[in-house]
């Protein structure tokens, strides 16, 4: 899968050739291709976020950059004299690339990953109790690269955790060995165990034992309540039974590293809906998810990470260089 190759949108063949160039009012020259196989003619922007847009690309990029650097929707509309509707439309178009880039990422294999799980909270629509708020966001972040596997918001319920761990199960399929490090929330480990376990056949009668998939370990950071007299308090726990043939260990350093914390600070700076004590929060769960999808793309594939000084997707080994903003807008939807 090549993110930037041009193929025929009708029959997917690579045997296309340039038919003509034409000049657009705002975008400069554009190319029309012809497919020798099925005979259709198509523009280079077909099925990309830019399809049918008349606004100059440079303006769209400037505005989307401001948004992903923390400018609220209203402020963006005022500053750039652009309608909120246009900004929302561009963000939707960009966010729709997420499945394509996820598919691309999942085509790779990984040797080892340490993944931190955490939940972030912000207000949605109006101020309600956290238990009924739709502003919970599950973050699954790979420690070394800062790559975000999961960034989904909703009510803090079973469904939200299930979604995240289904994604994690797919990552596990592609990874040799993996550690999941979470806070005290036990739903991560319990659900992961449900989705992703092996049966150990011992040859003895009775039901085979269930163990977490080979190569996977889960650690919980305990917060108190483990004190028993005479026993040293454990700092972390392995909450679910692990496979006897899992070889790697979880180092103290891995457990204590807290990369999501730094990420939380960054998202509060860069996504207006996560800013504390303001009224710039999202109007609905869907609106919040739209901004999170854009954040996911830009964080993983475009922006240089503040600690590693590399684009997370490059650090993860799935790209040789980061994707530029103009390139991002010309990726064709594959899903």
Cα 285-291-295 angle, rounded to 5 deg: 135
In the complex, least distance from residue 157 CB atom to Zn ion, rounded to whole angstroms: 45
Looking at beta carbons only, is 41 or 306 nearer to Zn ion? 41
Q: Tell me the window of 9-17, 92-100, 169-177, 327-335 that interacts with Zn ion (CB under 5 A).
A: 9-17
Extended strands (E) in the chain = 16-24, 28-35, 41-43, 110-121, 136-142, 148-154, 175-182, 197-200, 209-212, 216-221, 236-237
- Does position 35 bind Zn ion by CB under 5 A? yes
Which of these, 299, 327, 293, 300, lies nearest to 316 by C-alpha position?
A: 300
In the complex, least distance from residue 335 CB atom to Zn ion, rounded to whole angstroms: 19
- Considering CB under 5 A, how many residues would be counted as binding Zn ion? 6
Task: Report the 3 state secondary structure along 296-317.
Answer: HHHHHHHCCCCCCCCCHHHHCC
Looking at beta carbons only, is 38 or 304 nearer to Zn ion? 38
In the complex, least distance from residue 42 CB atom to Zn ion, rounded to whole angstroms: 9
Looking at beta carbons only, is 36 or 103 nearer to Zn ion? 36
How far apart are alpha carbons 165 and 150 in whole angstroms?
Answer: 9
In the complex, least distance from residue 6 CB atom to Zn ion, rounded to whole angstroms: 11
In the complex, least distance from residue 47 CB atom to Zn ion, rounded to whole angstroms: 13
State which of residues 24, 37, 158, 234 lies at the interface with Zn ion (CB under 5 A).
37
State which of residues 3, 6, 7, 11 lies at the interface with Zn ion (CB under 5 A).
11
State which of residues 10, 26, 51, 335 lies at the interface with Zn ion (CB under 5 A).
10
How far apart are alpha carbons 34 and 41 in whole angstroms?
Answer: 5
- Does position 38 bind Zn ion by CB under 5 A? yes
How far apart are alpha carbons 180 and 164 in whole angstroms?
Answer: 12
Looking at beta carbons only, is 10 or 107 nearer to Zn ion? 10
Looking at beta carbons only, is 13 or 20 nearer to Zn ion? 13
Looking at beta carbons only, is 37 or 158 nearer to Zn ion? 37
Looking at beta carbons only, is 5 or 127 nearer to Zn ion? 5
Looking at beta carbons only, is 35 or 172 nearer to Zn ion? 35
User: Do 35 and 10 contact (CB within 8 A), yes or no?
Assistant: yes
In the complex, least distance from residue 14 CB atom to Zn ion, rounded to whole angstroms: 10
In the complex, least distance from residue 3 CB atom to Zn ion, rounded to whole angstroms: 20
- Neighbouring residues of 168: CB distance < 8 A, sequence distance ≥ 6: 115, 140, 149, 150, 180, 192, 196
> What is the residue whose two structure tokens read 């004299």?
81
- Neighbouring residues of 330: CB distance < 8 A, sequence distance ≥ 6: 4, 44, 45, 48, 49, 50
Which of these, 221, 248, 213, 260, lies nearest to 116 by C-alpha position?
A: 260
- Does position 8 bind Zn ion by CB under 5 A? yes
- Does position 51 bind Zn ion by CB under 5 A? no
User: Do 177 and 109 contact (CB within 8 A), yes or no?
Assistant: no
Q: Given the rule CB under 5 A, which residues bind Zn ion?
A: 8, 10-11, 35, 37-38
């Amino acid at each position: 899968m090549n993110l930037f190759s041009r193929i025929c949108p009708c029959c997917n063949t690579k045997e296309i050739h340039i038919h003509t160039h034409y000049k657009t009012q705002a975008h400069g020259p554009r190319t029309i291709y012809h497919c020798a196989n099925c005979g259709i003619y198509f523009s280079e922007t077909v099925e990309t976020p830019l399809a049918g847009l008349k606004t100059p690309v440079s303006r769209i990029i400037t505005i989307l950059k401001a948004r992903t650097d923390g400018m609220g929707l209203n402020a963006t509309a005022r500053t750039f004299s652009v309608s909120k509707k246009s900004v929302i439309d561009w963000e939707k178009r960009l966010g729709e690339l997420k499945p394509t880039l996820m598919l691309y990422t999942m085509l790779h294999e990984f040797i080892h990953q340490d993944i931190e799980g955490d939940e972030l909270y912000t207000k949605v629509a109006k101020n309600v109790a956290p238990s009924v708020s739709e502003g919970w966001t599950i973050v699954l972040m790979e420690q070394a690269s800062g790559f975000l596997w999961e960034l989904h918001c909703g009510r803090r319920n079973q469904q939200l955790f299930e979604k995240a761990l289904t994604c994690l199960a797919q990552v596990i399929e592609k990874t040799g060995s993996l550690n999941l490090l979470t806070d005290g929330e036990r739903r991560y480990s319990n659900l992961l165990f449900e989705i992703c376990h092996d049966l150990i056949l011992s040859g003895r009668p009775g039901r085979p034992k269930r163990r977490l998939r080979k190569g996977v370990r889960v650690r919980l950071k305990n917060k108190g309540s483990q004190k028993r007299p005479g026993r040293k308090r454990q700092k972390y726990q392995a909450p679910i039974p692990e496979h006897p043939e899992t070889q790697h260990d979880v180092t103290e350093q891995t457990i204590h590293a807290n990369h999501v914390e730094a990420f939380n600070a960054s998202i509060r700076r860069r996504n207006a809906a996560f800013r504390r004590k303001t009224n710039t929060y999202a109007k609905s769960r869907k609106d919040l998810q739209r901004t999170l999808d854009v954040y996911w793309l830009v964080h993983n594939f475009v922006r240089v990470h503040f600690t590693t000084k590399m684009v997370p997707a490059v650090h993860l080994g799935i790209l040789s260089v980061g994707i530029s903003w103009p390139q991002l807008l010309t990726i064709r939807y594959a899903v």
